[in-house]
């Protein structure tokens, strides 16, 4: 897959210009609210602000980032689903909100497929499987062999029950048929801190949280979750290369709008978001988060959500994953 697909604005808009502009400008000065269903400062918030800073001038609107955390992102997503489908409310969501939560929460206040219309796939963030640099484990094969030889004695950390790191490691356990005890923390930072301190044996979390420690030699990277190796860690194999073909457990981020948002508005928003993703400033901000830009069509993110829901439901069930 070409991660930097070029979608020129003129091609996307084509003959839509006459339809889109009247709709976009029906309410001059109307604020566009981009709901982030998590607290400020996290990757979802950072990516939303990077996109919003370019989207506002392009649309001639003020973009406000509205943080609405709670219930693993469900509260913010529900608010976005209830908003008027006029193109002035968007949701910056990720794999947890749109693909994992349906399996974690039996009474979710939104339907990821029916409550929203897909707008854009923003980025993917590979997870990196790491151990303490003092560990005798040198590869994924070593980790699996030791876990099988010492069932129940090895542990891994995550940023919390139902977090991306938790789900990713459970997926690895399912595919590789081994067991390690899950130790949840309240956030990624403390989960990595205890790995550095030797309290747990491994973690499998987003690249930004562990790359600095891999570079300074305190953590050892065993594998990455993406289909291709990371440019920042070219010497580290993928899980697929390490004996599990087809393995893919990256985190991903996308933007959706309330169901019923007119197609011309969606096309316009998609084109401008894709343009923003290809600017040097946004590309630099994404790279700092360990993110790979994923410009493409609304259908691409819609298809992604549809195929991810059943995949992660299987993992949640097999791992008996429960939310905090």
pLDDT for 4 equals 31
Reported in sequence order, the residue ranges of 21-178 that DSSP labels E, i.e. its strands, are 32-36, 63-67, 89-94, 116-125, 127-132, 155-158
DSSP string over 228-260: S--TTSTTSPBTTTTT-TT----EEEEEEEETT
Strand partners, 220: 131
The 10s digit of each residue's pLDDT in 89-127 is: 999 999 999 999 999 998 999 999 999 999 999 999 899
CB contact set of 276 (below 8 Å; sequence gap of 6+)? 50, 51, 54, 55, 58, 282
The 10s digit of each residue's pLDDT in 55-95 is: 999 999 999 999 998 888 899 999 999 999 999 999 999 99
Residue 254: phi and psi, rounded to 5, are -145, 165
CB contact set of 162 (below 8 Å; sequence gap of 6+)? 72, 96, 100, 101, 104, 316, 321, 322, 323, 324
Q: Which domains does the chain carry? A: 9-125+252-318 (3.40.190.150), 127-224 (3.40.190.10)
Which residue has 């980025």 as its token pair? 123
Residue 123: phi and psi, rounded to 5, are -165, 165
Our measurement of the distance from residue 279's CA atom to the centroid of its chain's CA atoms, rounded to an integer in Å, reads: 20
pTM score? 0.80
Strand partners, 190: none
CB contact set of 280 (below 8 Å; sequence gap of 6+)? none
The 10s digit of each residue's pLDDT in 137-150 is: 999 999 999 999 99
């Amino acid at each position: 897959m070409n991660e930097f697909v070029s979608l020129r604005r003129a091609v996307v808009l084509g003959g839509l210009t006459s339809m889109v502009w009247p709709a976009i400008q029906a309410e001059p000065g109307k604020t566009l609210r981009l709901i982030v269903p998590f607290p400020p400062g996290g990757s979802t918030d950072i990516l939303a602000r990077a996109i919003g800073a370019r989207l506002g001038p392009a649309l001639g609107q003020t973009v406000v980032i509205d943080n609405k955390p709670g219930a693993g992102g469900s509260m913010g997503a529900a608010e976005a689903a209830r908003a008027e489908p006029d193109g002035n409310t968007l949701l910056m969501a990720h794999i947890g909100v749109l693909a994992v939560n349906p399996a974690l929460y039996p009474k979710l206040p939104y339907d990821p497929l029916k409550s929203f219309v897909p707008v854009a796939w923003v980025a993917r963030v590979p997870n990196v499987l790491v151990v303490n640099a003092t560990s005798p484990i040198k590869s994924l094969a070593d980790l699996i062999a030791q876990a099988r030889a010492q069932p129940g004695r090895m542990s891994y950390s995550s940023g919390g029950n139902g977090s991306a790191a938790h789900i990713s490691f459970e997926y690895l356990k399912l595919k590789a048929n081994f067991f390690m005890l899950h130790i949840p923390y309240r956030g990624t930072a403390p989960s990595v801190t205890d790995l550095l301190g030797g309290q747990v044996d491994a973690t499998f979390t987003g690249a930004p949280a562990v790359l600095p420690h891999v570079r300074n030699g305190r953590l050892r990277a065993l594998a990455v979750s993406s289909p291709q190796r990371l440019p920042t860690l070219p010497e580290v194999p993928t899980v697929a290369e390490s004996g599990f073909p087809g393995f893919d457990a990256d985190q991903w981020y996308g933007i959706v709008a309330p169901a019923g948002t007119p197609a011309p508005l969606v096309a316009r928003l998609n084109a401008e978001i894709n343009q923003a993703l290809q600017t040097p400033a946004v590309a630099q901000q994404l790279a700092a988060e360990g993110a790979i830009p994923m410009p493409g069509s609304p259908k691409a993110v819609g298809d992604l959500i549809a195929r991810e829901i059943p995949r992660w439901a299987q993992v949640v069930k097999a791992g008996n994953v429960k939310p905090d």
